[in-house]
Structure 1
Amino acid sequence: MPTVSIILPTYNRAGFVQAAIQSALAQTYTDYELIVVDDGSTDETVNQVRAIVDSRLIYVAHNQNKGAAAARNTGMRMAQGDYIAFLDSDDTWHPQKLEQQVEFLENNSGLGGCVTSYRLVFDDHSVIREIAMEPSFYQQSLKGCNLSPGSTLLFKKECLEKVGYQNESLKRFEDWEWQIRFARFYEWQRVPVVLADIRAGHTVNFETVKQALSYFQTIITTLPNNDQKTIKMAIFYELFYASWKNRLWGCACGYLAKSFLQMPHGCVGFMVSLLRRKVKERSKAGRVCVEK
């Protein structure tokens, strides 16, 4: 049995999927299986995947598009490893990513998983993102899935017994909802080394975001009231950001106000921390050195 199961979901990413797969196959840590889940692609994705021959690569295809959560769940149900790693099909790993994370978790047995620093790659520049871990992983998770992208996560498969799989009814933010459940039982920590390149710059349809977050609010009602307030503050911020990116200026202002009113002190602190990060990243954009 392999020690690590890599889950690589993909949908119409023919132009990127080979680079993602090759970055997994180039790992210095070699005891793994790579499960590529094609979520009903209609482009040349299947040909791009099948052009790569490697005994560790397992290809499975959905007969229709079911969403990122369903694709990851298919991979997790197939996984044979003690650890599970996610890799999005437009992202890439640095060669020592798995080696350093497996070693980190084996030396920190009380953790459920770990993430890494990463390089966020835009069309015309890149920035290094090193997000500090707060004292409470659970409280930090309530504020959004912004600790680190799924492509930097490695976690123990045994955690799924308590956490469960991702919610397939969510077409966006499924990783955030799953992270909150994860944080109720287990801690993550960050390996402070840049070990992945994450493609940025996607603009998501506002209605898709709105529908997903409306449903999100209906599945957090069992949480304590203060936790629900923190999540709703973050939800309104996500709606603000999505409407701003889609040039819906009036909606953006309204959602920003709702985020503030939901939890004034928390919102200010949240916004200040995001602003500091943005300023720091802008000052370093294009002049970053990636650790390997």
Structure 2
Amino acid sequence: MAAVTIGIPFYNNEETLKYAIQSVINQTYVDWHLYLINDGSTDRSLEIARQFESSKIKIIDDGENKGLISRLNQLIDISESEYFVRMDADDIMVPERIERQISLLEARPEIDLAGASAYIINNNNSVTGIRIASIRGGGPSGILKNGLFIHPTVTGRTRWFKKYKYKEGFYRAEDLELWCRSSETSNFAIIKEPLLFYRDSSLMNLAKYKESSKTVRKIIKLYANSSKQKVILLFKENFKISVYTILDLLRFTKVANRRRNSSIDQLQAEKALAVLRSSIN
């Protein structure tokens, strides 16, 4: 049995799936098993996944479309390894990602879950920025105020994932709900260096953002630590929706997306691009 199980659910990711899989194959840490789970794709994703099938890479396909939350829990259920690694089918791992995170977890047995920062890439695999992850304030109130992990960067102890799992009913913000629900009985850590290339389109999808915001408001109502915090956070969330709606009407969606990421200079971008190429070639 491998020490690490990597789980990648995919749905209509024919343009990016091969890069995600190749970046797993190119990891410096080699004691892993990869599960690729098809969520009812209608494009060539399953065909592409089957090209990589091996003793270390298993394909799961039941022909159904159950959604991300169900598939994540399915991956957790079948994992028998000590560690479980999250990843999305449109992202790319830095070659040292798993090695760095497993080293941290082995050196610090009190840590349940480790995340990392991420480079931002567009649909052409160009590096456009960086998103810095950090832990700023503990418990649900701190997470609601400041955020926590970049979801596909997390690696943790499988027993932790099996204990908490993802909850249905929190579409597009299932990770935020999980962090809030588990935070008071868990220990989290962040590796500041970017260990993932996170694909973030330059164009904001307002419909998807509204779906996310609806779930975030639900989470705020559940986990805010006081009526005052609840009112403040709900006001901010409603205000953001109003601003993004206006930006969408004015065709300024790139502005909305750039606010979430930090820029990098040309030299940093070139170095990051060299790392990306080593991840997928």
**TM-score with structure 1 length normalisation?**
0.77
Letter of the 1:127 counterpart: G
Counterpart of 1:165? 165
- In the alignment, the residues of structure 1 paired with residue 132 and residue 240 of structure 2 have an alpha-carbon distance, to the nearest angstrom, of 21
Alpha-carbon distance in 1 for matches of 2:30, 2:89: 20
Q: Which AA in structure 2 matches 1:126? A: T
Question: How far 1:207 moved relative to its partner?
Answer: 3.8
- Aligned match of 1:129: 131
RMSD: 2.9
> What does residue range 142-221 of structure 1 map to in structure 2 within 5 Å?
142-143=144-145, 145=147, 147-162=148-163, 164-201=164-201, 203=203, 205-218=205-218, 221=221
Query: What is aligned with 1:69?
Result: 69
What is the alpha-carbon distance in structure 2 between the residues aligned to residue 208 and residue 92 of structure 1?
Answer: 22
- Which 10-residue stretch deviates more, 135-144 or 90-99? 135-144
Which AA in structure 2 matches 1:95? Answer: P
- Contact between 2:27 and 2:98, CA under 8 Å: does it hold in 1? yes
Identity %: 22
- What is the CA–CA distance in structure 1 between the aligned matches of 2:63 and 2:116, rounded to whole Å? 33
Distance 1:203 1:54 in 2: 37
Query: Which amino acid in 1 is paired with 2:66?
Result: K
TM-score by length of 2: 0.80
Counterpart in the other structure of 2:230: 228
> Which ranges of structure 1 fall in alignment gaps of 5 or more residues?
250-273
Q: In structure 2, what is the equivalent of residue 265 of structure 1?
A: none
Match of 1:109 in 2: 109
Mapped pair 1:33 → 2:33: yes
Measured in 2, the distance between the counterparts of 1:55 and 1:108 equals: 31
Structure-2 change in CA distance of 1:185 and 1:24 (3 Å): same
Contact 1:137–1:187 under 8 Å retained in 2: no
Q: Secondary structure at the match of 2:185?
A: coil
> For 1:60-99, what per-residue CA distance to the aligned partner results, in whole angstroms no more than 9, with x for missing partners?
1243322222221221111111111111111111111111
**Alpha-carbon distance in 2 for matches of 1:167, 1:202:** 29
Where does structure 2 lack aligned partners over 5 or more consecutive residues? Answer: 252-257, 276-281
2:246 & 2:112 partners in 1: Cα distance? 35
Answer yes or no: is the 8 Å Cα contact 1:84–1:155 preserved in 2: yes
C-alpha spacing 1:43/1:221, structure 2 compared with 1 (3 Å)? same
The count of aligned residue pairs is 262
Assess, with a 3 A threshold, how the Cα gap between structure 1 residues 84 and 38 changes in structure 2: closer, same or farther: same
CA shift for structure 1 position 115 = 1.0
Instruction: Give deviations 1:178-228, integer Å, cap 9, x for gaps.
Output: 221232321321112222111112645434443453354445545332553
Cα distance change, pair 45–10 in 1 and its aligned pair in 2 (3 A): same
CA distance in 2, matches of 1:52, 1:83: 22
Contact 2:117 2:133 in 1 (8 A): yes
CA 1:231–1:41 in structure 2 vs 1: closer, same or farther (change >3 Å)? Answer: farther
Structure-2 residue corresponding to 1:140: 142
Matched, 1:52 2:83: no
> Does the aligned pair in 1 maintain the 2:3–2:81 contact within 8 Å?
yes
> Alpha-carbon deviation of 1:48?
0.2
Structure-2 change in CA distance of 1:33 and 1:217 (3 Å): same
Amino acid of the structure 1 residue aligned with 2:267: R
1:243 maps to what in 2?
Answer: 245
